[in-house]
Structure 1
Amino acid sequence: MEQKKFRDMSQDERLQYLKIKTNLSEKEIDLFRNTGGLNFNTINGMVENAIGVFPLPIGIATNFVINNKEYLIPMAIEEPSVIAAASNAAKIAGRGGGFVADVDDSIMIGQIQLIPDSNNSINKSEIDDIIKVLQDNKNKITSLANTKSKFAECIDIKIRHIEDKSINSLGIMIIVEILVDVKDAMGANVVNTMCEGIAPEIELLTGGETILKILSNYATERLVRCKAIFPRDLIGGEDVLRRILFAYAMAYTDVYRAVTHNKGIMNGIDSVAIATGQDFRAIEAGCHAYACRDGHYKSLTKWYQNSNGDLVGEIEIPMAVGTVGGITNTHPIVKSCLKLLNVSSSKELATIMAASGLAQNFSAIRALADEGIQKGHMKLHSKNIAIMAGATDNMIELVSKKMVEEKNVSVSRAKEILETLNKKGV
C-alpha cells in the first residue's frame, strides 16, 4: 500500500511519522499535541504540513494613553524587559500628556511590471508613447481594478520607468502603480487581486508583457506619526537627558548603532503585531526601508529638548496593519487581543503600534545613557535563568531574587542557590 503524503496525514499520523524519521522522543513529540486555544483544523488551514503551534508568552503593557484614550496593550514576545520597559515609558509619557498620534488613510501600493512582448527591453523612445497610452486610459484601468473588490477602492494610478541595475542589465522597465484604499484591511490579498485583474488590460493597451503583479510592502502612503513628551525630572535630570541626546545622535549618524537602535523600536512594534495577527515581517521590511529613504540608514525616531527643558520623542513609520481579514477572523487569541485593545479601526491600531515602538525606544536609550542596559535586563532575565536551572513555582522568584542581590546571574549560580534552598526545605 502506497504511503500517504505528509500533507494528507492527520496530526497524529504526522507526529508518528516524525517519531520514526527523527530522534525525537515521545515526550518531545507530545509537546506538539498541545495546541492551546487553537484546534488543529484551524492550524492546518493556516499553514501547510502543520504539526502544532509554537507558543509565545503574551503580556500586557500598561499605562498607555494615546490621543487621550487609555489602553492595555497585549505584547507577544519572548524577550524579558520589553513589556516592563514599555509600561514604564508610558507612565512617564503620561505625566507629559501621553502619546499624540495621527495616521494617513489606509492606502497601499500595488505594482505591475511591464516589458515589451519580446526578449528586448523597452527602447527609450518608446517610453513616452507607452506612458501616454496608460495615462489616457487611467480611468478605464481604475474602473476595472474596482470591479475586483467590494470594499477596497483603487483611487489613483502612477506610472514611472526604471532601469535595471542588476548584473543582467535588462534595460528599462515601466512600473504601473495602483494606489488602493484598503480601509481596515492590511490589504495584501485585495491589492494582489487588483494587480492581476488589470494586467491583461495593460498588456492589451500597450502590446507589452506584464511580469510581476504584486503589492509593495513599502507603505509610504500609509504613514503613522507619534509624539510624546518625557518630563526632564522624571528621566533622571539634565545630565541623563544630555546623554540621551548623544545616544540619539549616534543612532542618527552611525549605521552600526542605528540597526540596534531600530531593533529596540521593533521590539515594541513587533510584539503588538504578533499579538494582533499582523504581518510583522512586512512591517519590519517597510520600516527598515523607510529608515534609509534618504540614502543613509538612520534612527526611525527623533529626540530633542523642548523650550521647557523636557525630552521630546517622535516617530514616523509606514504601518500596514488590519483589523479585518487574514487571521484576525480565524485566530481566537488574535480576536481576543483586538477586543482587549478595543480598537475601532486599522488606523487606531497603527497609532498603538507606533506608540509602543516610541515607548520602547525611550526606555532603551534612557537605560543606555544612564545605568547601562544590562542592570534592568538581567534582573528580568534572571527568572529565565532560574527556570533553566530547574526552579519551579515559588522557587523561581527566590532564586531570581538571590542572583540579582549578588549581581551574579548565571545558570551555575542558580543551580547552587536552588540546591541550597532545597536542602533547607524551602
Structure 2
Amino acid sequence: MTSISWTGFSKKTPQERLEHLQSNALLSPEDKTILESASLPLATANQMAEHVIGTLSLPFALAPDFQVDGSIYHLPMVTEEPSVVAAASFAAKLIKRSGGFKTHIHQRLMIGQVALYDISDKDNAHQTILTAKENLINMANQAHPSIVKRGGGARDIWCEDKEDFLIVYLSVDTQEAMGANMVNTMMEALVPDLEIMTQGKSLMAILSNYATESLVTAECTVDLRFLSRDKDQAHRLAQKMELASQLAQVDPYRATTHNKGIFNGVDALVLATGNDWRAIEAGAHAYACQDGHYRGLSQWHYDQEAQKIKGKLTLPLPIATKGGSIGLNPSVVAAHDILGNVNARTLARLIASLGLAQNFAALKALTSTGIQSGHMKLQAKSLALLAGAKEEQVPTLVKQLLQEKHLNLETAKQLLAKLS
C-alpha cells in the first residue's frame, strides 16, 4: 500500500474518516455502506449460532500506517477498550520512523491428535505407527482431498507416551483456512487403523489449539531519540522498559497483565478479521508457560551502544483468511478489503506486529507517565456518554470531570445537569 496522510484523522468524524478511506482507495463504496450501517443481518447471524435473538455491535476502528516488512498496512481493530487504538497508532508511528517491524513465519502447520489408551505394549505400538507413517499420512489426505489439490495436506506423524496414553500427532498444512474441521476429519479417519495397530482404544480425535507449528515472530527497533527529546530521560526510560520486560519473565502476576496488553492489539485484529480469538488466546497462553512458568510473551532489550531499544514477540498464530464465518459477516469482509485481502501468512505477520506495538506503548506509558494518564480522559468521555450528554456537550463535560476529585457517574450526572 502507498503512504497516505493521516494528519488530523483522530479529529475527524466517523463519516469523514470513512470518506478519507474511500478517497484513498482503501474502501469500496460497498464496504463504506457496510461500515456505515454497522450491523450484521439477523438472518445471517441466525445461521452462525444457535438460539439467536439479536446481534451485538462493537467499535470498528483503524490503526493506520503500520510498516511491516517494508510495506504499509492500515489495521482494522474491533475493541471496546479506551486508549487501545490510540496506543497502537502512536507506537506504529514511532516504530515506522525507526524502520518498522520485521517478521518471520517459522512454519504454518496445524496439529491434530488421537489419544489412545488401554495399550498393553506401548513401545511396540509406537514402532508400528512409525513404520506405517507414510500410509497413515496418505490415509489422512484421502479423508480431505480438496486441501491436497490446493497444495496443502498432512505432512508428518509422530507419537508421544504420556502416562496412561499413547498420543498420535499429525501436522497439517491447512493453507488459507484455520483448518479445525479439516484436521478433525483427518484425525477421525485414522482412528480405526490406529486402534488395530496398537490393540488399544481411542479416547478422542481432535485438533489442538496449541499451535506450536504455526509460530510467528515480530521484531522492531526504536531509536532512543523517539522515546524522549531529553537524552538522559530517554536513556532512563529504555532501561526501565528493559526492566519491565524482565519483570514479566519472573513474576506471573505481572506476566499476565503484560500479556493481556499484547492481546489488546492481537484480539482486536483477530476479531475484526473473523478469526477465533479464543483459540488464539488459548494457544498463546499455553506457549507463555511452555517451560512450566508463565512468562511475558515479548522481550525488550536496551542496546546502549547502538542507542536503541529492541523488542521481540513470538506467538502461535493459526490465522485464516478463508472458511468459518469469515465470508458471512459483511464487516469482516470489509476488514479484509482494508488490509488488501492479504494471505493468511501476511495476516499473521500483521497480528504479531500489532501485538508488539501495543506492548511497546503500554511499557512506555507504565515506566514514564503511568497508564492512567491516557485512560482517565477516555474514562471521563465514557462517563459523559453514560450520563446522557449530547455530542456537543461531551468536550465540556469531559474537561470538567477531569478536574473533579471523584471521577464517577454520579459526578458526571451532576455536572451535566448544570450544563443543561
Partner of 1:269: 266
Structural mapping, 1:110-259, within 5 Å: 110-116=112-118, 122-123=119-120, 126-149=121-144, 150-151=146-147, 152-163=152-163, 172-236=164-228, 237-259=234-256
Structure 1 residue 90: deviation in Å?
Answer: 0.5
Write the distance in 2 (CA, Å) between the matches of 1:44 and 1:322.
22
Structural mapping, 1:64-83, within 5 Å: 64-83=66-85
TM-score, scaled relative to structure 2: 0.86
Q: Secondary structure at the match of 2:143?
A: coil
Q: Secondary structure at the match of 2:191?
A: helix
Structural mapping, 1:227-376, within 5 Å: 227-236=219-228, 237-306=234-303, 307-376=305-374
Contact 2:103 2:217 in 1 (8 A): yes
Structure 1 residue 420: deviation in Å?
Answer: 2.4
* Structure 2 residues not aligned, in runs of 5+: 1-36, 229-233
What letter is aligned with 2:91?
A: A
Count of matched residue pairs: 373
Q: Secondary structure at the match of 1:394?
A: coil
Structure 1 residue 243: deviation in Å?
Answer: 1.6
Q: Secondary structure at the match of 1:210?
A: strand
What letter is aligned with 2:112?
A: G
Structure 1 residue 36: deviation in Å?
Answer: 4.9
Structure 1 residue 234: deviation in Å?
Answer: 1.5
Partner of 1:23: none
Contact 1:105 1:181 in 2 (8 A): no
Write the distance in 1 (CA, Å) between the matches of 2:241 and 2:106.
30
Structure 1 residue 231: deviation in Å?
Answer: 1.7
Structural mapping, 1:90-109, within 5 Å: 90-109=92-111
TM-score, scaled relative to structure 1: 0.85
Structure 1 residue 276: deviation in Å?
Answer: 0.6
C-alpha distance after superposition, 1:29-84 (max 9, x if no partner): xxxxxx95322221111111011111111111123111111111111111000000
Contact 1:63 1:88 in 2 (8 A): no
Write the distance in 2 (CA, Å) between the matches of 1:227 and 1:105.
17
Contact 2:255 2:296 in 1 (8 A): yes
What letter is aligned with 1:161?
A: D
Write the distance in 2 (CA, Å) between the matches of 1:266 and 1:57.
17
C-alpha distance after superposition, 1:323-345 (max 9, x if no partner): 00001121111111011111421
Contact 1:72 1:340 in 2 (8 A): yes
Structure 1 residue 408: deviation in Å?
Answer: 5.6
Partner of 2:3: none
Query: Per the alignment, do residues 229 and 405 of structure 1 end up closer, same or farther by CA in structure 2, a change over 3 Å counting?
Result: farther
Higher alpha-carbon deviation: 338-347 or 268-277: 338-347
C-alpha distance after superposition, 1:224-262 (max 9, x if no partner): 000011221221311111221221121111111110111
Contact 2:39 2:57 in 1 (8 A): no
Q: Secondary structure at the match of 1:147?
A: helix
Query: Per the alignment, do residues 62 and 404 of structure 1 end up closer, same or farther by CA in structure 2, a change over 3 Å counting?
Result: farther
Higher alpha-carbon deviation: 72-81 or 195-204: 195-204
Structure 1 residue 389: deviation in Å?
Answer: 1.2
**Larger Cα-atom Rg:** 1
Contact 2:210 2:286 in 1 (8 A): yes
What letter is aligned with 2:373?
A: K
What letter is aligned with 1:275?
A: A
Write the distance in 2 (CA, Å) between the matches of 1:238 and 1:416.
45
Q: Secondary structure at the match of 1:328?
A: coil
Write the distance in 2 (CA, Å) between the matches of 1:393 and 1:249.
44
Contact 1:105 1:347 in 2 (8 A): no
Structure 1 residue 406: deviation in Å?
Answer: 5.4
Q: How high is the sequence identity, in percent, across the aligned residues?
A: 39
Partner of 2:15: none
Contact 2:246 2:299 in 1 (8 A): no
Partner of 1:87: 89
Query: Per the alignment, do residues 407 and 353 of structure 1 end up closer, same or farther by CA in structure 2, a change over 3 Å counting?
Result: farther
* Structure 1 residues not aligned, in runs of 5+: 1-34, 117-121, 164-171
Write the distance in 1 (CA, Å) between the matches of 2:306 and 2:326.
43
